[in-house]
Amino acid sequence: MAFKQMLFGLLFGSLILLGLVTASWQRPLFAKEMGAADPLLYLPLISNPIDYRVELYPSAQNIEEYRLFCGKQHFLSVITQNGTFNLRPHPGEDINGWGSSLYLQPFFPNASLKHTTAPTITVTGNNIQIQAEGFVSLNADETYGSWLVSLALSCQPYNKQVSGSGIYQISLDGLMAPHGDLNLYRIASNYLIDVPLLSGGNGNTGDMATVWYAYDGSANHQWTPTLINNAHFPNDEADQLMVEVEGACNEVDTAAQGYAPIVAAAKPSLKLTLTSQNPDAGVRFGAFYDTSKSQDFWEDNVGITPLVNVNSPNTDFAFNVEFMSTSVISDGQIPCWGP
C-alpha cells in the first residue's frame, strides 16, 4: 500500500509539474488573446542558435549578389560587379535601410576597381565566413600586386548590429613611387546639401551624417562634407586607423526635386578598423566629396579612401580587420525623422 501511495504521489506531482510547464508556454497565447501582458515578457528558457544561410542572386550584367541571412534577417550583401568586392550591411528592420558600401580592395589613384575573383562564402554555426582575393587595380585595366581578405561576419538582430573580424593582406609588385599613393579601400556613401526634406524646408541629409576617424586608439577626429571642405587628406600616419561613417535618416524629398517620390529610410553606420600586424605601416585618413553631385540622391558622391603615402618603402601589408554596422536609433520608426 505504501508503495502504491508513493507511486500515485509521484505521478500526481509529475502531472502538476507538466501542467505548470504547459501553462507557462500557453500564457503568452492567453495574454495575447485577452490583450493582457506583453508576451515578450515570457521568454523561453532555451534559445535556438541563429540560422545562418547564403542565397546567390546572379545577374546578366556581370553582377552577382550573395545575400547573407541570420534567421529571417537579410543582414548583408556581398556584391561583385566587373571585379569589384562590395560589402553592404543591413543590420536593422527598415526594408530600405541599405546605406554606405565598403569596397575592401586596394587600388591606385584614378584606377578602375576590378580584378576580384569570385569570393568563397562558408556558413558555420556561429557566423558566415567570406574569403576574397584579387589583384591591385592600376589605371583602367592594369594590376600591380595581389590582395586577400578573410572575414567572419555575424549578426545580432536584437541589437540591430552586424559585426565581424578577419585579416587583410596586400603584396605589391614593387615600390609605389611609379604609381602614387596606395588606397587601402573605399567606403562609398551619399551626402546631400541644401535639398528639400520630407519633414519640411531645405537642409542636409543622405545616407550618412558625418565621418569619424581615429589613429592608434586616440581621440576621434571628425569630417563632414561641405561645398568648400570637399577633400580631407591629413598627413598624420599610424599603424591603426578607425573610420566610422555615421548613419542617418535619409529624408530627401525627391518629388520636390522633380523625380518619383521615395520614402525616408534609416541608413546604418559603417565602421572599419585596420590594425597593422607590422610596425611603421604609415596609414593615413583620406576622404573627398564630389560637389558637382551634392543634390543627386542616387550618386555615391562621398568617398572615404584611407591610404599609404607614395613615399613608403613598404611593399607588403598585413592588417587585422574589425568591422561593425549598427542601425540608427530611428530604425523601424515611421517616419524616421520623428522624435
* Distant-in-sequence, close-in-space partners of 323: CB < 8 Å, separation ≥ 6: 87, 102, 151, 153, 162, 163, 164, 165, 166, 271, 272
Angle 26-31-35 from CA coordinates, rounded to 5°:
155
Q: Can you tell me the distance from the alpha carbon of 48 to that of 102, in angstroms, rounded to the nearest whole number?
A: 31
Helix (H, G, I), strand (E, B) or coil at 247: coil
- pLDDT tens digits for 6-53? 444 444 444 333 343 333 333 333 233 333 333 333 333 334 468 999
pTM: 0.85
Would you tell me how many other CB atoms lie within 10 Å of the CB of residue 275?
A: 19
What was the pLDDT predicted at 62? 81
* Distant-in-sequence, close-in-space partners of 28: CB < 8 Å, separation ≥ 6: 39, 42
Mean pLDDT of the chain: 88
What average pLDDT does range 72-94 have in this prediction?
96
CATH class of 52-326: mainly beta
Check residue 111 and report its DSSP letter: P
The residue among 316, 173, 195, 305 whose CA lies nearest residue 258 is 195
Check residue 173 and report its DSSP letter: S
On whether the CB atoms of residues 102 and 270 are closer than 8 A, the answer is yes
Please list the alpha-helical segments (H only) found in the chain.
Answer: 2-34
Strands 120-123, 161-172: pairing kind? unpaired
Domain ranges of the chain: 52-326
Beta bridge partners of 2: none
| Cell numbers given for 339 | 522624435
- pLDDT tens digits for 173-216? 999 999 999 999 999 999 999 999 999 999 999 999 999 999 99
On whether the CB atoms of residues 284 and 304 are closer than 8 A, the answer is no
- pLDDT tens digits for 121-151? 999 989 999 999 999 999 999 999 999 999 9
Q: Can you tell me the distance from the alpha carbon of 210 to that of 332, in angstroms, rounded to the nearest whole number?
A: 21
* Distant-in-sequence, close-in-space partners of 286: CB < 8 Å, separation ≥ 6: 183, 232, 233, 304, 305, 306, 307
